[in-house]
A = this chain, B = another copy of it.
Amino acid sequence: MAATNASGTTTVRYGGMHRQVLALEAVLANGQVIRTGTRAVKTSAGYDLTNLLIGSEGTLAVISELTLRLYPILDHVVAARVAFPTVQAACRAAAALISVGISVTRCELVDAATIAALRAIGSLELEQVPHLLIEFAGSQTSVADDIESMRDLVEAEGGRDVAFESDPTARARLWRARHNAAIALLALAPGSTAMTTDVAVPISELPAAIEAARVALDASGLRGGILGHVGDGSFHVMYLLAEGDSKSIAQAAALNDAVVADALARGGTCTGEHGIGFGKLGYLRREHPELVSLYSGIKSLFDPNGILNPGKLVPEPSAAAG
């Protein structure tokens, strides 16, 4: 499972964990066990039920086994950290890295508000500006090569204070700015609850989308931060709600609306990673209005009695059919 990594953050090089699933075993609503895919990397045999079940949020079957593609752990890993004057500059640099084909294995944005929160809990001492954390892996020379190209691209966007770590302990320390982000944001208002919305946009739209999210967060009256798996155009806005405060719940709903509406207007999606559940049913209908009846039909086919995670993902509880 070298395609994933210790932090659970996105491995940009390989395009998302669902790409790594070759086959799966699942239990249908009627108790029947099925197997999709094979151990071959490639297949054209039958409809692609593997990808239909992945991301179905437990509404079609219970996945009981996954067969994953494996990758070697590459010889040489270097983590880099770069400070930027603005989130837009950081995102433009990330987009440039991807578009020239530099093979980064991770590329994460931590915004200025999150850096401030991390400083407040004493987790790190970085300048309170947006940072990119980037990881390179490969042979010694290819990594050196990628880093050289990266330097030019980030400097063109005003990137500075570039730090590199290759020792595993030092790399883990560098990544702490990302891993402790949620804890640090929560610590801003003890006793509050964190909510997160996630969206994804075309990479070319990312700088403007993150800037729009920043403006919406500032205007919302809520405290929070923006964290991005910017290498694949997806990012999260995390914000804090005081317990039992109905005003902050309304503010959070409005903020979520604004971030999702902006992502959809840019040709993006209402959820890059977290899924629809109950909370984004309305946005799913807005993103794919003509697909909703197909979703319902597929749900009825797999789960005619609606016993699997009912009400999630498929906008209306499916009428008994089959």
* A-to-B contact residues, CB < 8 Å: 15-16, 19, 32-36, 38-49, 51-52, 54-56, 60, 71-72, 74, 99-101, 103, 138-139, 141-142, 144-146, 149, 200-203, 232-234, 263, 267-276, 280, 283-284, 287-288, 290-291, 294-295, 297-298, 301-302, 313, 322
Contacts and interface: CB of A to CB of B under 8 A. Distances in A.
A200 B51 contact: no
A35 B286 CA distance: 12
Copies in the complex: 2
Contact of A267 (B16, B38, B290, B297): B38
B71 A38 contact: no
A269 B43 contact: yes
Contacts of A56: 47
A47 B313 contact: yes
A93 to B, nearest CB: 16
B48 A72 contact: no
B42 A47 contact: no
29 contacts: A15-B19, A34-B291, A38-B200, A38-B202, A38-B268, A39-B201, A40-B201, A40-B263, A40-B267, A41-B234, A42-B200, A42-B269, A42-B272, A44-B55, A44-B276, A45-B276, A45-B280, A45-B283, A45-B288, A46-B276, A46-B284, A46-B288, A46-B291, A47-B295, A51-B52, A72-B99, A139-B145, A139-B146, A297-B301
A47 B40 contact: no
Contacts of A41: 15-16, 200, 202-203, 232-234
Contacts of A141: 141-142, 144-145
A141 to B, nearest CB: 5
Given A41-B232, A42-B234, A45-B270, 7 more contacts: A32-B290, A38-B200, A41-B200, A42-B233, A43-B272, A103-B103, A141-B142
A239 B145 CA distance: 46
A14 to B, nearest CB: 8
Contact of A273 (B42, B46, B99): B42
Contacts of A269: 38, 40, 42-45
Contacts of A74: 101
Given A45-B287, A51-B52, A141-B145, A40 B72 contact: no
A201 B291 CA distance: 35
A36 B233 contact: no
A51 to B, nearest CB: 4
